[in-house]
Structure 1
Amino acid sequence: MAALPTKARVVIIGGGVSGCSVAYHLAKLGWTDIVLLERKQLTSGTTWHAAGLIGQLRATANMTRLAKYTADLYSRLEEETGVATGMRQCGSISIALTEDRKEELYRGASMARAYGVDVEEISPSEAKNRYPHLEVSDVKGAVFIPKDGQGDPANITLALAKGARQLGAKIFEQAKVTAIHQREGRVSGVTAVMNGETTTIECEHVVNCAGMWAREVGASVGVPVPLHACEHFYIVTEAIPELGRLPVLRVPDECAYYKEDAGKILLGAFEPVAKPWGMNGIPEDFCFDQLPEDFDHFEPILEKAVKRMPLLADAGIHTFFNGPESFTPDDRYYLGEAPQLKNFWVACGFNSIGIQSSGGSGMALAQWMQDGEPPFDLWDVDIRRVQPFQANRSYLYQRSTETLGLLYADHFPYRQPVTARGVRRSPIHEHLKARGAVFGETAGWERANWFAREGQEREYRYSWKRQNWFDNNREEHLAVRNNVGLFDMTSFGKIRVEGRDALAFLQRLCANDIDVAPGRITYTQMLNERGGIESDLTISRLSETAFFLVVPGATLQRDLAWLRKHLRDEFVVITDVTAAESVLCLMGPRAREVIRKVSPNDFSNENNPFGTFQTIEIGMGLARAHRVTYVGELGWELYVSTDQTAHVFEALEEAGREYDLKLCGLHTLDSCRIEKAFRHFGHDITDEDHVLEAGLGFAVKTGKGDFIGRDAVLKKKEEGLSRRMVQFRLTDPQPLLFHNEALLRDGKIVGNVTSGNYGHHLGGAIGMAYVPSKGESEADILGSSYEVEIAGQRFKAEASLKPMYDPKAERVRM
């Protein structure tokens, strides 16, 4: 066997399907000096025992794009490499046993059509025709995707490995990485042991594809990679005579999936309460290992399966299998460059869908490494969404009991995790709880999503229709529109950028002009070279050399990484100060009256116009009052030192009694912002969406000088827009919009709803969506007929290029 080299361009750690896919795709791009190191043998961790299901439809457009790529890749890989992949596009059927699940499946089918996936809604009897052994008496509906399929996980991996080798990659087994080296904030090499020989390999890049070992590999270089292994169970029957070729079958209401293979049935489970494994580490000799059987744990799944498919009652069990799979806190895998260490890349945490994900993820990561930026919006799986605390082992142990089961749970809108809660709390958390707050979780933060009335149940009752908090949301929403409401937005990410070169640094990164007087607030985006939106934020100028950036809580780590990545030899200090201050948002037409009761400062338009801030006395404390809004009303974001937050909250609450001040939650923040057509990062605007097509050209100042993305803005101005962000209102007041519903223009699908909520003031569901509009005038766009498809039904929608609520923004300047 050849010795390990001492130099490489890239070292990939892990020889499962993910690592081999990354090696294959880098080699396809022409990279040489690719070295893949596998601690034992290829596929020996979790890949070898995967079920090998290959589905195309995922939760979002770009995840679906990657899944479709995977299916296409595996279909042609055998011809390219000569290794049989077992890829068979036998189709898949998902069946619903409840009306809620039927709604979810049918909404998914509508979304699939918008993404170009071939899909059919089928009746229970049609499902039985395609799967004759199925009991369908209680089936409410089903969906069939003809080009879904299945493959042989080990052989797919070996085919990728052979394809990579044919293109010059070097793959070594029995080669364990013992150290990763870094120099000046970037990867510089690895040390590995093979056949008792220790070798240090100098390299430019390291890719962590270590599967269930990825957390420890990341921790060795200070990179949080939150994932935890769980026991995953399936059985394989004896051969069943005359079984026939069958599609993959999913019965999520019974936590089960079925795969026919060589005349046998594989029955697997994603049970609601999982069994985490490996809290004390994974044994050093783990290789193609199984975990102990636990038939009692699997038995409830099997009992339902025998009723669902009666022929199983007479089928012997050939194999009862239990093997570990790694799961992440949000059931989405990790991809991209770690923000803590340059050129340290991650592709892991596949939550039991590694076979169907790894083809696309390997392609996307290789392109990302080649270009220095993702090929399209990958925020769903971006490693920069990770909060550092999430690598805590107790947190991961608790959360992983839930995340395995969530794969097949009802994916209701607004669904909140129930495990590993309460890690990050506002100073007034208990105050809000005592007043009826029902909390949701974002980036670990407990946030009041809505407020229950006296005697009302304080928890969610999930549905695809109007949930139990719909009327609470309406009351909060109308209070903000007509009177005054108070939000706790402590979860905002807060960053100080200061130093001699701070202004020049921010001018280079931001599209708007940041060179304003101290006391002014600027709304801006940070763009990439394509004119796509990397960050959506406000910047308050504290002094000549100090700036205060406010970003969404969910994107804080991403935004910090973007800032630090672009720092040159400049005298600039970037500090995360999120925990230092709370944010209380006082919003509504009577906000000025309330704040004057607790502060002697001047809140007039002359002294404190929209887009400015001032330091104020409030109660017996101090705060900065920022005159901005995300709900489209007169109001202030009050930045209060965390030690004074409870006092300021009590003072505002007391002052607000005579004005019927209402405590409001995050659902109301969102329903108000969508009426005002304010964009939401991650939904309406991403790094793939051009700032001008997003309708944010007012925040771009090309005349200020050079900045990242300026050339792309000028080019788009010259070429013209190819699509426009449009706001829609359903004319029927009953249906609800969430996101990803199919948008139709003059009867043809042209896109999907990027975000949706109910507009209680406007009296209907409101959605945002991009409409293709190359060479079209505003009159052309608005002259069309629009509909939105929801679970197979089409609803008429009114379109507007201006905000339907307060289009001239008069209310925020009252």
Structure 2
Amino acid sequence: MNSVGIMSSAGIGKVLADWAVDGDAPSDLWAIDIARVDPLTATPAHLATRMEEAVSDLFALHWPFKQPKAGRNLRKSALHERWAAQGAVFGLTAGWERGLWYAHDERERNLPYAIGEQPWYPIAVREAAVMDRGAALIDLSPFTKIDVRGADALALLQHVATANIDVTVGRAVYTPFLNGRGGIEADVTVTRLGSEHFRVVSGAATRWKDGAHLRRAATGLDAVIEDVTEKFCVVGLMGAAARHVLGNLSHDDWTDFAFSTAREVTVAATRCLATRLSFVGELGWELMIPAAGAATVFDALIDAGARPFGHYALDACRIEKGYRHWGHDLGPDITPLEAGLAFTIDWSKDFRGKNALLHQRSMGLGRRMVLLDVSGHPLMLHDEPIFEGGKVVGMTTSGARGARTGLTLALGLVSIAETETLAQTCARNFKIHVAGQDYVSRALAKPPFDAAGKRMQA
């Protein structure tokens, strides 16, 4: 850490001591957590390549969304070349190469960086528009996939999850994992595949952290934790035509297929696990396919009319639904009650962090996460101050311009009075300060895109 290590040594010593005594990190330490680092980045060759660019970048303009050029291609899915053939402009996501957008020509492949309106935004709009009548294909292979098996697998997951995991085989459950302070350590989906077999799926960036969290919690239990991330490719098929496309490639029933359920299916003569979920708020399924057979399914979906959909379009759609993601909107210092995720809590069972949540619920919340409609279309990223009456009352946690609504939106945590309702929060007058200017911002009671979820549950 060089000089940074010297300057930070006292603080590092304090948090390590608190961590050792209390068993939990005393605050959100994700920015310096070794678990955020992919082991492949520790090779001497990679370090030498990245160091040269990292040092030179210290003196370069820090563009929003800037991608490194050195040390790339550490992790590529089995479908990498097929995404490339569809025009993928790849970016780095936690060590994985992933299509940020899909170019139709050389001009779209070489778009410049910008500090205002992003040149790729019209492409994200184009990609999202496919879902209105057609089907979009999303690369979700970097998802972390961890199998939990054994006689104590259920007991383990019931302990770490706020939601009830004791569900029927084939149910997919969205749930946070908490620390002892009630903060969110992981944001996952748990699918029950058998009486003693569960699959935990989370974001790419938290792969090593989530695995370590489960292994620590499993100490002394009859439970086996296995990372199966690279055994499978995952593609999301989303949009109004998703059911029609899959029906033409499969003899399985895609109509009597409830939301938040999973089942083994055959698509293009290939067995895979289909889960009816959506992070974009559209009708769709996530197909988890053994890596060896993924190309067959991919080719069939493209031939059937599915079109590629990039990571930037994904973010521009999830913000329109107010969906949170771990690392910005959610983290160890934010509780489910503050984040608007109380619906994930089963108060009838015990789980780690429950006492902290009970105490917070009895005392009343001091802050609330809200979705804000920001006027003037500034470039929203995260950590922009939120003002009310000339005083800072919160910070944004993430932001983007919606690909379907065209609204500039941001999630943010704002201070609230002890008994303040959501309606009262939405009636307040907020401004967000971005690049020296204030932008009037309105807290929304409901997400601006398909608030009732009719498209997703069609």
TM superposition score normalised by structure 1 = 0.55
Q: Please say which of residues 353-362 and 712-721 is displaced more in the overlay.
A: 353-362
Which residue does 1:362 correspond to in 2? Answer: 13
Give 2:158's aligned residue.
507
1:298-309 pair list within 5 angstroms:
none
Matched with 1:615 is 264
Aligned-residue offset at 1:764 = 2.1
2: CA distance between counterparts of 1:689 and 1:697? 12
Are 1:402 and 1:419, in contact at CA under 8 Å, matched by a contact in 2?
A: yes
Shift of 1:364: 2.7
Q: Is the 8 A contact 1:497 1:572 kept in 2?
A: yes
How far apart in 2 are the matches of 1:482 and 1:372? 51
Residues 104-124 of structure 1: CA deviation (Å, up to 9, x unaligned): xxxxxxxxxxxxxxxxxxxxx
AA matched with 2:209: R
> Does 2:444 correspond to 1:800?
yes
CA contact (8 A) 1:427 1:645 kept: yes
**Could you tell me whether the CA contact under 8 Å between 2:79 and 2:233 is conserved in 1?**
no
From 39, 43, 67, the counterpart of 1:388: 39
- Partner Cα separation in structure 2 for residue 353 and residue 481 of structure 1: 50
> Alignment partner of 2:442: what SS?
strand
Do 2:77 and 2:230's aligned partners in 1 also have CA atoms closer than 8 Å?
Answer: no
CA distance in 1 between partners of 2:416 and 2:108 (Å): 47
1:397 counterpart residue number: 48
Answer yes or no: is 1:420 the counterpart of 2:71. Answer: yes
> C-alpha distance in 2, partners of 1:451/1:457?
8
Residue 781 of structure 1 aligns with which residue? 425
Q: Say which is worse superposed, 623-632 or 463-472, in terms of deviation.
A: 463-472
- 1:664 pairs, out of 303, 309, 313, with 309
- Equivalent position amino acid for 2:388 in 1: R
The aligned amino acid for 1:783 is A
Q: Out of 403, 409, 415, which is 1:760 matched to?
A: 403
Deviation at 1:804, TM superposition (A): 2.4
Name the SS for the 1:472 alignment partner.
helix
- Match for 1:608: what amino acid? F
Q: Which one of the candidate residues 327, 337, 342 is aligned to 1:692?
A: 337
Distance 2:358 2:423 in 1: 24
Matched, 1:571 2:237: no
Task: Supply the distance in 2 between the matched residues of 1:457 and 1:473 (Cα, whole angstroms).
Answer: 12
Q: How many Å apart are 1:648 and its aligned residue?
A: 0.6
State the Cα distance separating 1:481 from its structure 2 match.
4.6
CA distance in 1, matches of 2:249, 2:123: 27
Q: Which residue of 2 aligns with 1:170?
A: none
2:430/2:442 contact within 8 Å kept = yes
TM-score (norm 2): 0.96
User: C-alpha distance in 2, partners of 1:468/1:365?
Assistant: 43
Does 1:466 find its partner at 2:117?
A: yes
| 1:649 to 2:298 alignment | yes
Report if aligned partners of 2:149, 2:197 keep a CA contact under 8 Å in 1.
Answer: yes
2:24/2:180 contact within 8 Å kept: no
Structure 2 equivalent of residue 633 of structure 1:
282
**Distance across 1 between alignment mates of 2:70 and 2:327:** 24
Alpha-carbon separation, structure 2, partners of 1:454 and 1:462: 18
- Superposition pairs for residues 75-474 of structure 1, below 5 Å? 349=1, 353-474=4-125
| Aligned partners of 1:738 and 1:755 also within 8 Å | yes
Question: Counterpart of 2:179?
Answer: 528
Give the one of 201, 211, 234 matched to 1:550. 201
Task: Check whether the contact 2:423–2:445 (CA below 8 A) recurs between aligned residues.
Answer: no
> Using the alignment, how far apart are the partners of 2:88 and 2:298 within structure 1?
15
Of structures 1 and 2, the larger Rg is shown by 1
- Report Cα offsets for 1:763-804 as digits up to 9, x if no partner: 221100011113212232111111111111011112114322
* Structure 1 residue 736: Cα displacement: 1.9
Gaps of 5+ in 2: none
Amino acid at match of 1:367: D
Matches within 5 A, 1:724-763: 724-732=368-376, 734-763=377-406
- AA at the equivalent of 1:403: A
Q: 3-state DSSP class of the match of 2:17?
A: helix
Question: Partner of 2:361 in structure 1?
Answer: 717
CA distance in 2 between partners of 1:379 and 1:411 (Å): 21
Query: Could you tell me how far apart the structure 2 residues matched to 1:417 and 1:372 are?
Result: 36
Deviation of 1:457 after TM superposition, in Å, equals 4.3
Q: Note the C-alpha offset of 1:460.
A: 4.5
**Match for residue 676 of structure 1?**
321
Please give the residue correspondences for 1:475-490 in structure 2 after superposition, counting only pairs within 5 Å. Answer: 475-490=126-141
CA distance 1:479–1:748, shift in 2 (3 Å): farther
CA deviation after TM superposition for structure 1 residue 417, in Å: 1.0
The answer to whether the Cα contact below 8 Å between 1:722 and 1:772 also exists between their aligned partners in 2 is: yes
| AA at the equivalent of 1:697 | A
Equivalent-residue separation in structure 2 for 1:588 and 1:466 (angstroms): 26
Which amino acid in structure 2 is aligned with residue 701 of structure 1?
D
3-state SS of the aligned residue for 2:317? helix
8 A contact 2:367–2:413 mirrored in 1: yes
Q: Is the 8 A contact 2:139 2:235 kept in 1?
A: yes
CA RMSD after TM alignment: 1.5
Letter of the structure 2 residue corresponding to residue 750 of structure 1: V
Instruction: Give the partner amino acid of 1:364.
Output: V
1:409 and 1:359 map into 2 onto residues whose CA distance is 30
Report if aligned partners of 1:498, 1:546 keep a CA contact under 8 Å in 2: yes
Q: Which residue of 1 aligns with 2:213?
A: 562
What amino acid maps onto 1:556 in structure 2? R
SS of equivalent to 1:651? helix
* In structure 1, C-alpha distance between the alignment counterparts of 2:331 and 2:147, rounded to whole Å: 23
Pair 1:359–1:409, CA change in 2 (3 A) = farther
Q: 1:525 to 1:810 in 2, by over 3 A?
A: same
Q: Distance in 2 between matches of 1:786 and 1:747?
A: 10
1:2-34 deviation digits (Å, cap 9, x = unpaired)? xxxxxxxxxxxxxxxxxxxxxxxxxxxxxxxxx
**d(CA) in 2 for partners of 1:668 and 1:528?**
32
Structure-2 separation of matches of 1:482 and 1:785: 38
Between the two structures, name the one with larger relative contact order (CA 8 Å, sep ≥ 6): 2
Q: Within 5 A, what are the aligned runs for 1:29-68? A: none
Shift of 1:626: 0.4
Structure 1 equivalent of residue 242 of structure 2: 591
Shift of 1:427: 1.2
The 8 Å contact of residues 758 and 766 in structure 1, kept in 2 or not, is answered as yes
Contact 1:746 1:784 in 2 (8 A): no
> Percent of counterpart pairs with the same letter?
40
1:747, 1:786 within 8 Å by CA — same for their partners in 2? no
Whether 1:811 and 2:455 are equivalent positions in the alignment is: yes
CA distance in structure 1 between the partners assigned to 2:86 and 2:71 by the alignment: 23
The one-letter code of the counterpart of 1:749 is: V
Contact 1:725 1:801 in 2 (8 A): no
Range with greater deviation from structure 2 (440-449 or 681-690): 440-449
Q: Is the 8 A contact 2:402 2:408 kept in 1?
A: yes
d(CA) in 2 for partners of 1:476 and 1:577?
30
Question: CA offsets, 1:480-533, max 9 Å, x none?
Answer: 355321111110000000011111111011100000000110000101111110
In 2, the alpha carbon distance for the partners of 1:738 and 1:364 equals 28
Structure 1 residues 150-208: Cα deviation after superposition (integer angstroms, max 9, x where no partner): xxxxxxxxxxxxxxxxxxxxxxxxxxxxxxxxxxxxxxxxxxxxxxxxxxxxxxxxxxx
Aligned length, in residue pairs: 457
Partner of 2:434: 790
What secondary structure is seen at the aligned counterpart in 1 of 2:159?
helix
Q: Secondary structure at the match of 1:811?
A: coil
CA distance in 1, matches of 2:136, 2:224: 36
